[in-house]
Structure 1
Amino acid sequence: MIHSAELVLPMTGNIVKNGAVVVEDGRVVDVTTGRGDVHHEGVLVAGLVNAHTHLQYTCMAEVGQRVYPDFDAWARVFNDVYFGSADGSWDPMLRKGAWDWAASALDGAWQCLRSGTTSVADIVTDLEALVDSPLGGVRYLEAIGDSDTSWASGGRARFEGMLDGVSGISPHAPYSLDTGVLAELAELARDRGMRLHIHLAESPHEHEFTTAATGPLRRFVDELGFGIVRDGGSGLAPVDYLDSLGLLGPDCHIAHGVHLTAHDRSLLRTRETAVALCPRSNRVLGLDGPDVAALLREGNPIAVGTDSLSSSPSLDLLADVAALRDLAVRQGYRDGDLDRRLVEAATLGGAAAMGLTGEIGCLAPGARADFAVFDIDPGAREPYRTLIEKGQGRCVATFVGGSDVGHMGTD
């Protein structure tokens, strides 16, 4: 089957006018020119890659529809809705059966597909959210709330027993797991050949927590009953702290990276650890946006994520790309490659972050035939900028492995 469009953005090569994508057995055979068996009006783009989301929280959209004064305020509302009360204890069984996580995750998957996203880095907290969908990418099982004591007395065995059906491990954050647990999760992932993904440098209070074990995050995790005790702290800032525990590396990517210093960015580059940027989620949580301009200038590998509907207005990845563009311009980035690099971050960058370079996020021979068609002007002088500024809400078709899936699941 040959799909054609007046403009094709394959991401691994030049933009192709009057382009055609040759698909066989769900894979790209060639990107060439000419009229295909199926001709699409608009711009055909390699499938977008959402490098950080929690699809199971799609049902908690009420939480993400407002702006909070700070991270702490959002976290308290999130927990109240997740648990159904302000009980203050962390017991996942408390919510068992209260939410239909499977239906919620599937709804989120279809929302992604209908907006042109074909692969995701999806963090799963409750096993009921492990559902089948056409989305590619990596599913990460989240670990949260274990102290070294609870981990040794059954937490590790319980977590290992839940790893079937996922190909990644997500230690939640530097403040929500004890030191030994974080180190063991890194070892566990590598022993099993799994990817790692962790929230990092999202809250401005992470630094105080990892260095001195004090501040708002310490009070918060104490209220939740995590039992994490780090008297005196580690003396290390969050990025250095995780690096000392062996988490960072090319098989790991972090989410958010709002509060990264020049030293942090340099260390992440050295470790080849990508950063999934989620600017609209940061805005909802009352946080500053990441330093996009610095990350671009310094050559950090970046990707783009929506986070979940519990902290973001939608799962339309291009809306976050547009927000990143605004941030970069306000931060003084003036190079002419801005639009191309941001679209690359939302495709190639997400693929690299999950260790799937050449498999997703591009239209190149051998890649999975994932692509989306957007109802935007194929004759625009700046196609990447037009996609960023006009593409939100204008995906008219999505294909995964060469099959049209963009408008399935609407019932």
Structure 2
Amino acid sequence: MTTSGRWQNDVLRELSAPAQQSEVDAGRSPLPVRRTEEQRPHPGQPNPLSPPPPPTASQEEPAGPPATGSVPARRPARRPQGPVTTPDSVPTLDPRLALALGAPQHGDSVVRRTGRSLRKLASSAAREVSEETRLAGLLQQPVTTGRVIAVTSIRGGVGKTTTAALLARTLNHYRHDPVLALDADSALGTLPVRLGAESVRWACADLAQILTPSMQLTDVTGYLVPVTDGGWLLPASQGRLTAPLDMPTYRTVTLALRRYFAVTVVDCESLPGEVARTAMDTAHARVVVAPQTAEGINGTRTVLDWLAQLPHAALASTVVALTTNSNDPSLELKTAMAHLRETGVTVVHVPYDRHLSGGGPIRTDRLGEATRRAAAELAAEAMQRAVRVR
């Protein structure tokens, strides 16, 4: 991969387009956008702002246009028959439940926070600074096209959505380009709640009907939910019992939005759902969330064996997030990690955190230090694998 900033410069140029248009409307000549030789597309190079390619079963970018006479028939994009109706804004939590949440707990106890402060005073922090610098370098790697990281698990309730929210928040904290969290779970996905969204309006199915290649970043973000700590969110639904997200809608939305966002973190449904299998097959990197239980580790091992059989080396771009969801796990940590590492994957342990176990919105300042470090390591491992894919 190149280190060119062409992709980011084009996004910034899109953001400046409304200001230039306002100058034209006012009768003034806008300043021309000057492009250096490095930024100007060369013959034979794809334009980062060109319309996205049609959906394919592979996550790799097309090498180039097909020969004349061999262009396959392309299905026209789905468009609404009549005017698009703006959906109503719906709260993510019942107001009575939101009031009952109370103050969020801190991930670390007072004793642990005090002991950590004393250890920092008594020892050198050079090693910690070096590790944080290494992780920041991996998380801030430049990309020329949007990368997709899919998060899934063998069943619900193991921390899949929590892990996806941690990844989105961590990537947004370290990166300076747009990051999107996409909820591709069933009709009752909880990613908006975990990211602190008070209400949702537009969902994946709504946006799939109105996305066009001519839309700019500022147009697209008008349909998304801004996240409190930065970044953007696209929910799968408005939280009602409606039809679950289907595969054509998922493909349409992800392929189109990759033009605008450096990284998209997808909170998939649990395997073996159709959308989850499609997301895992087409993503640039995969995160499989495994609970620290005997049945959880055994089922996750089955998923890893399936990924190893995919034709494009999916296992090499997979990371396992091993979550401890209680103070007294039923399986020894070393045994669980060793069993998963036999497949050759990297395993990152996400420890038990009182703040995460309480549910509700995730506040970064309330996370335990070990949880923040694990989230950064997990995001760095996933980002490193996503960048490797051409």
Normalised TM-score (structure 1): 0.31
Which of structures 1 and 2 has the bigger CA Rg?
2
Q: TM-score, normalised by structure 2?
A: 0.33
Q: Which structure shows the higher strand fraction?
A: 1
